[in-house]
Amino acid sequence: MRTSVFQSDEQRAMKIQFQKMHGTLNDFVVFADMDNSVALSESTVARLCDRRAGIGADGLIVVRPSAVAHFFMDYYNSDGSIAEMCGNGIRCLAKYVFDNDLLREREQHIETRAGIKTVSLEVGDDGRVQCVQVDMGVPIFATPKIPVLVSPEQEPVLNYPLEVQGRIFRSSFVSMGNPHCVIFVDEQIESLPTVYGPAIERHSLFPQKTNVEFVRIVSTGRLTMRVWERGSGETLSCGTGACAAAVIGILQHVVQTPVTVDLLGGTLEIQWNGPGSSVLMSGPATRVYEGSITL
């Protein structure tokens, strides 16, 4: 597993050129460090992502060199913690490297802490990336690898009675390179992430915390979802979370592939042909602006 490069806050200040980007309004600070000269502390990342004291973002992405793929995605949550994978973020990284001429290939291989992901780019008439499809890999249901501290007789674990704040949620567990707790409900979901998300994220069942998805069924081909992201709080979109929701929905036979997942920030398309097959996620990637900042 790749580790990160950290610095102490006392180290010499450095100016970086960055781009602000988003995938279905899940937003990121993105910059390239191809000589591994930029070291980051947790507090520096948190300051850059702060919406009042910094640039403001759900996460930070550093494009670094890789010995096994085209690039390595060094990804951080907005609180400065390291994350294994980000589905919306990897689409933004792919657009960043293509549009900035770091790699003009329409198929890219990106190393992440959750393995190497293959992305396919859809380029518009202006020569810039508009949409990205990501091979997210095979979902992981083995509880020690998610990880979640339950011991079922068989996997996957579906509709587990998770008690939090005096309420029981029927929860299903999967890893899309990072841990997810997927909860299907019949009620309105708008307030559920902020009310229950923090407690579920830090529940004792999840030794590395978890992302939390509250999901409603719209039709056999459509879901609507709200998300509480580990290390970032409620966000307008989560790519791995949309994949997790679609996978659990398909397993429970409430939706069929392909699945459209509606989030506050937009729509993602998810394809999955069942156990043993990879999940394909398609969605937009958008550059908002560029600038420079001193670390």
**Which residues are catalytic, by number?**
86, 238
Helices and strands: H and E segment counts in the chain: 4, 17
Burial of 115 (0-12, 13-18, 19+ CB in 10 A): middle
44-53 per-residue burial string, b: 16 or more CB within 10 A, e: under 16: bbbbbbeeee
What does the radius of gyration of the chain's CA atoms come to, in whole angstroms? Answer: 18
Number of Cβ within a 10 Å radius of residue 147: 17
d(CA 83, CA 230): 9
> CA distances (Å), 184 to each of 83, 98, 187, 192, 246, in order?
25, 37, 9, 11, 11
